[in-house]
């Protein structure tokens, strides 16, 4: 018996799964959509493995524009979306629903701009904490939030959870180390 009772999946969405997958492939491309059972199983839980739900599909966009298109599509078709960084959270933050699309940002992992004079880095949300630090290490800088999962955790999850770590005592948590975000609303705007 589960400790948390999860809602029943929307049967209309579940019955439209094949069409939804085709539409997502049309939006983001074949390589960006995971629809087979083994592939989806990888995303059925985060590090809180006590709860598991096989998602409807998984989308791994490579741009903000792809994220916007997926969210616009999901909104228009009444499909739930579960955002996912690396899935290292121990609180179930990336636990999908069976009638939901998991939108993973792991392919959005580039450093876009480094400005050492102004102590500023512009990065994509799927970059790991250690990759940010590695990108600026030669100039003596590092990305301060350092949760225990910093080897694998992404900026997306850090933002969602306001992650800290040992360095937060001196440098603050994620919100103290982020100047701004470019985001997409659930409407795809």
CB 146 within 8 A of CB 135: no
Bridge partners for 58 per DSSP: 34, 102
E strand intervals along 43-86: 57-59, 80-84
What local confidence, expressed as pLDDT, does residue 1 receive? Answer: 47
Angle at which helix 17-28 crosses helix 64-77, to 10 degrees, equals: 150
Taking CA atoms, 187 is separated from 43, 46, 176, in Å, by: 23, 25, 28
Torsion of CA 64, 129, 56, 29, to 10 degrees: 40
CB 98 within 8 A of CB 54: yes
Nearest to 153 by CA among 180, 182, 162: 162
What local confidence, expressed as pLDDT, does residue 64 receive? Answer: 96
Q: Average pLDDT, whole number, for the chain?
A: 91
**Burial of 117: CB neighbours in 10 Å, binned 0-12, 13-18, 19+:** exposed
CATH code linked to domain 111-177 = 3.30.465.10
Q: How far apart are CA 13 and CA 10, in angstroms?
A: 5
pLDDT averages per 10-residue partition of the chain, 189 residues: 74 96 97 96 86 93 97 97 88 87 96 96 95 96 86 87 86 91 93
What local confidence, expressed as pLDDT, does residue 149 receive? Answer: 81
Nearest to 29 by CA among 76, 78, 75, 62: 62
11-104: CATH topology? 3.30.43
What local confidence, expressed as pLDDT, does residue 2 receive? Answer: 54
pLDDT digits (tens, 9 = 90+) for 167-187: 888 988 989 999 999 999 999
List the chain domain ranges.
11-104, 111-177
The number of angstroms, rounded, from the C-alpha of 92 to the middle of its chain's C-alpha atoms is 13
What local confidence, expressed as pLDDT, does residue 77 receive? Answer: 97
Question: Which tokens belong to 186?
Answer: 């659930």
């Amino acid at each position: 018996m589960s400790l948390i009772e999860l809602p029943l999946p929307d049967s209309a969405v579940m019955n439209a799964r094949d069409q939804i997958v085709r539409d997502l492939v049309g939006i983001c491309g074949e390589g960006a959509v995971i629809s087979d059972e083994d592939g989806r199983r990888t995303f059925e839980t985060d590090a809180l493995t006590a709860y598991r739900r096989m998602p409807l599909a998984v989308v791994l966009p490579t741009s903000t524009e792809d994220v916007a298109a997926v969210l616009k599509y999901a909104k228009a078709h009444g499909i739930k979306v579960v955002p996912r960084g690396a899935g290292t959270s121990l609180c179930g933050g990336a636990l999908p629903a069976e009638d939901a699309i998991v939108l993973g940002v792991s392919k959005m992992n580039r450093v876009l701009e480094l400005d050492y004079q102004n102590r500023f880095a512009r990065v994509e949300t799927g970059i790991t904490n250690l990759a940010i630090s590695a990108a600026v290490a030669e100039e003596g800088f590092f990305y301060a939030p350092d949760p225990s999962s910093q080897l694998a955790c992404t900026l997306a999850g850090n933002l969602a959870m306001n992650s800290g770590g040992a360095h937060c005592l001196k440098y603050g948590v994620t919100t103290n180390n982020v100047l701004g975000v470019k985001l997409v609303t659930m409407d795809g705007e």
